[in-house]
Amino acid sequence: MSETDPGKTSSSSSGDDFAARLAAARGRRDAGRETTSDVAARNTGQLGLGFRIAVDLLAGVTVGVGMGLVLDRWLGTSPWFLLVFLILGFAAGMTNMLRTVRANDAARARVAAERREREHKDAR
């Protein structure tokens, strides 16, 4: 007494056929889409990049000053560790800032290259 649903078949080949059609449809849908990293690289605005650079620099200097102050109080060497760690913090902040700018430039160049390649393929 089993009822059969007209939309369902009991054959395993129809399941394989459905999986193949589903994969083909997903492939067609995703063919024109950009990956998440591409979208993030494109949408990174100049203001966001500027804030990130400022935070990178400020964080390095703040950590350096904090460490210098703590070491100066603990060891009783008033401005020396503060000055040393201020310079080291500034150097670390500049390094992080340059790393951020280089990564952003590389991501933008990669997206531009992929766009040119995609346009070149479409032109054929």
| Predicted structure pTM score | 0.57
**Cα–Cα distance, 109 to 116 (Å, whole number):** 10
What is the full per-residue pLDDT of the chain (124 aa) written as tens digits? 445 555 555 556 677 888 888 888 887 777 666 666 656 655 657 788 889 899 999 999 999 999 999 999 999 888 899 999 999 999 999 999 999 999 988 988 998 888 888 888 877 7
How many helical (H) and strand (E) elements, i.e. helices and strands, does the chain have? 4, 0
**Cα–Cα distance, 82 to 74 (Å, whole number):** 12
Judge contact between 56 and 70, C-beta under 8 A.
no
